[in-house]
A = this chain, B = another copy of it.
């Protein structure tokens, strides 16, 4: 058994059986070993940012890591933008980065670079295996690191000769630590704050946003009169009919400040103190109001469900005290196609168990509002602000959940960073409906240009946000990669196209041409 075979077997035994790949020569033994370990499913991507974004979507939905297979420093750097998003969402991920053979690195061949230096800033675990005999044990440790709650980025640098050298058998999987139970003092502090009768917000993220945590959070909020909220961007939010209701913090800092005005107690459950996404001249970054006490009930790696259950008990919250969302999808829209019509149409036709990969930005922000009463579904958002996540994340979520329908809600500008994901969707025949919100611009930047108070901006500045010259034709682009596609220009047309797309298996794309 060579190193690559011992690696892949160890990964499979450790619960990693999907690999999003874009291999090169230094990864050939890994690729060859795929035939001898059929339990590992390789998914070919045409660009490494697709691979890492897909691993993110997979990790969010499977609750265990996928691995990526990347080609030296440049393959790694191409993946890093979506690794950044996964890191911020605390998604488990294991990146295997092929490198030159150990003795070859000294010669400064063209593809030589400082792979560890490039990986370090975004990796929780980073190791270069120097001997084939160590590879299986290192892989088990990397898998453990990735799976350690709440989920981490593990990077294993794999010199080519370590892949091809003779190794022993695979390593046994290492036990994954459970989430930490929080100290009773944390529960008591939160309970005391919530009993005060003063204005309070419970802000949740991570594990607390699954069905069980939400129900507990809602019971706590209702028993104490606090408001239950989640962060603007969350890794995975279980919502829709039958789930407990939670409000979302808005995006812009001044709107967050408005929501939090007068709040005296902020109870954090897997979240952090709210700050503005960007800084703006003369506006505050830190958004916790003065005089507000912050109580950290649970950190991201803690057992939030247990902590919330104990808090509910402390507050004697009734077992049936959660506010449960009723099934109430809106009627399909008519008229012009705008952000509202898109949101109504998606909400009207969203099937039960849908997964929304949301990178809709300015044109997508109404869709979660209208879909609150849709059948139960999962909402995955862009947690790190690195653009180009949506289509890859949808791809990975569809690999993780082949029996569910994935909806990629995607801005036209954002789509172009990693549009190669469409080909992988076609190749794997994944159940993804890609909705491209085509406003022909980086619209958010037109808004931001005003907000930052940049003086002297004129037509040259504005032209930097204009995607209409030439116009991108997403219908032919999707078809060029094997994905059936259609264009919608009014609400009825979009609504019909979307209803048809979610009813059919396999990938599809709808270019929603929005009114200006």
A386: chain B residues at CB < 8 Å are 73-74, 111
A384 touches B31 (CB 8 A): no
Q: CA separation between A273 and B480, bound complex, in Å?
A: 44
CB proximity of A213 to chain B, nearest CB, Å: 21
A279 at the B interface (CB under 8 A): yes
Copies of this chain in the oligomer = 2
- Interchain CB contact under 8 A, B122 and A385: no
Closest 3 interchain pairs by CB?
A470-B482, A74-B386, A32-B454
Residues of B within 8 A of A120 (CB): 117
Using known A-B contacts A35-B457, A110-B383, A417-B78, determine if residue A278 contacts B25 with beta carbons closer than 8 Å. yes
Cβ–Cβ contact B286 & A107, under 8 A: yes
Q: Which of A59-80 contact B (CB under 8 A)?
A: 72-75, 77-78, 80
Indicate whether A275 reaches chain B with its CB closer than 8 angstroms. Answer: yes
Of B5, B73, B387, which one neighbours A74 at CB under 8 angstroms? B387
**Which residues on B sit within 8 Å (CB–CB) of A25?**
277-278, 444-445, 448, 452
A387 to B110, CA, bound (A): 12
A259 within 8 A of B: no
How distant is the Cα of A272 from the Cα of B84 in the complex, in angstroms?
Answer: 36
One digit per residue, 1 when the CB lies within 8 angstroms of any chain B CB and 0 when it does not, for chain A 455-470 equals 1111111011011011
Q: Do B42 and A460 have beta carbons less than 8 Å apart?
A: yes
CA A458 to CA B427, docked complex, whole Å: 19
In the bound complex, do residue A46 and residue B417 qualify as a contact, i.e. CB atoms below 8 Å apart?
yes
Residue in contact with A461 in the complex, picked from B31, B46, B164, B444, CB distance below 8 Å: B31
A454 vs B33: C-alpha distance when bound (angstroms): 8
Contact B456 A32 (CB under 8 A): yes
Binds B, one of A10-18, A96-104, A222-230: A96-104
Interface contact B80-A456, CB-CB below 8 Å: no
User: Within the complex, what minimum Cβ distance (angstroms) separates A99 from chain B?
Assistant: 10
A110 to B121 Cα, complex, angstroms: 15
A164 to chain B, nearest CB (A): 5
With a cutoff of 8 Å between Cβ atoms, the chain B residues found around residue A469 in the complex are 427
Is there an interface contact between B481 and A233, defined as CB atoms closer than 8 Å?
no
Instruction: Give the complex CA separation of A482 and B477 in angstroms.
Output: 11
Chain B residues closer than 8 Å to A26, beta-carbon distance: 278
In the complex, the answer to whether A160 meets B279 with C-beta atoms within 8 Å is yes
Contact yes or no, A473 B479, CB < 8 A: yes
Interface status of A333 (Cβ within 8 A of chain B):
no
- The reply to whether the CB of A34 lies closer than 8 angstroms to some CB of chain B is yes
Please provide the chain A residues from 1 to 53 with a CB less than 8 Å away from any CB of chain B in the complex.
2, 5, 21, 23-26, 28-29, 31-36, 38, 42, 44, 46-47, 49
Q: Which residue of B lies closest to A452 (CB)?
A: B28
Cβ contacts A to B, 22 pairs, < 8 Å: A23-B464, A25-B452, A28-B449, A33-B456, A35-B456, A46-B417, A46-B467, A47-B388, A72-B385, A73-B386, A103-B279, A104-B275, A107-B275, A108-B275, A109-B276, A110-B384, A110-B385, A416-B423, A426-B470, A470-B481, A476-B480, A480-B480
- Name the distance in Å between A456's Cβ and chain B's nearest Cβ: 5
Q: Which residues of B contact A472 (CB under 8 A)?
A: 423, 480-482
- Which chain B residue shows the least CB distance to A33? B456
Give, as a whole number of angstroms, the nearest-CB distance from A374 to chain B: 26
Contact A80:B74 (CB < 8 A) given known A108-B272, A458-B35? yes
Q: Does chain B have a CB within 8 A of A375?
A: no
Given the interface contacts A160-B279, A476-B479, does A459 sit within 8 Å of B35 by beta carbon? yes
A117 partner residues in chain B, CB cutoff 8 A: 117, 120-121
Q: Please give, as numbers and ranges, the residues of chain B lying within 8 Å of A503 by CB-CB distance.
A: none
Given contacts A74-B84, A233-B110, A479-B476, contact A445 B23 (CB under 8 A): yes
- For residue A47, give the distance in angstroms from its CB to the closest CB of chain B: 5
Query: Contacts A35-B461, A445-B24 given: A29-B452 contact, CB under 8 Å?
Result: yes
Distance between Cα atoms of A481 and B42 in the complex (Å): 30
